Amino acid sequence: MSEIRAEEEAIVEEFALFDQPRDKLEYLLELGRDLPPLEEAAKTEANRVRGCQSNVWMVAEFDPATRRLTLRADSDALIVRGLIALLLRLYSGRTPEEILTTPPEVFARIGLGRLLTPGRQNGLWAMVERIRAIARAFAGAEVAAGSA
């Protein structure tokens, strides 16, 4: 099982404790409160993820030695910060290839699948698209470098 899928299993287990939507959202609020904030200097227009009702900023660092992508993100809305916390658990520290071949399945499994609809105001879909775009950029660079 891929690292991302393994993390998804862990998240599914955590959310199995809650059967009410309210409890799930309150847990997201809690995760949101615990998410380390992004430094103000990183909250630039270039780092802003478009398509969210709240502001979302995302930064990425690629380590060519380990081929791992480190992601950090922040939002001014608490529930979105909770969603970010989950996304970072899934995708930060993975390789671009694993990110690109492993779209998130966990949100549907924990009963938050409707949050993933394109155009939804929470921007989860836009954030996933941004993570995939970042991964594509580094996977593409690697492929291009390798073929040169």
Partner 1 sequence: MNELAAATAESLDVEAVRAQFPILARTVNGRPLLFLDSAASSQKPRRVVEELRRFYYEDYANIHRGVYELSQRASQLHDQARRAVQRFLGARDWREIVFVRSTTEAINLVAWSFLRPRLRPGDEILVTEMEHHANIVPWQIVAGERDARVVVVPVTDAGELDLDALRRMLGPRTRLLAVTWVSNVLGTVNPVAEIAALARARGVPVLVDAAQAAPHLPVDVAALGCDFLAFSAHKMYGPTGVGVLWARLEHLEAMPPWQGGGDMIDRVSFAGTTFADPPFRFEAGTPDIAGIVALREAVAFVEALGRARIAAYEAALVARLEARLGEIPGVRVLGRPARRASAVAFTVDGVHHQDLGTMLDLEGVCIRTGHHCAMPLHARFGLAGSARASVAVYNTREEIERFADILARTIALLRG
- Which residues bind to partner 1, rule: CB under 8 A? 21-22, 25-26, 29, 33, 53-55, 76-80, 121-122
**Residue in this structure with the two tokens 């993933």, named with its chain if needed:** 116
The position carrying tokens 């998240």 is: 11
Smallest distance from the beta carbon of 63 to partner 1, in angstroms?
A: 33
Task: Give the residue numbers annotated as catalytic, written as ranges.
Answer: 52
Q: What percentage of the chain's residues is helix, strand, coil (to nearest 5)?
A: 55, 10, 30
Q: Is residue 37 helix, strand or coil?
A: coil
Q: For partner 1, give the closer residue by CB, 11 or 78.
A: 78
Q: Residue type for 34, please?
A: D
> With respect to partner 1, which residue has the nearer C-beta, 82 or 96?
82
CB of 22 to partner 1, least distance (A): 5
Six-digit token pair at 68?
A: 């791992």
Nearer to partner 1, 94 or 130 (CB): 130
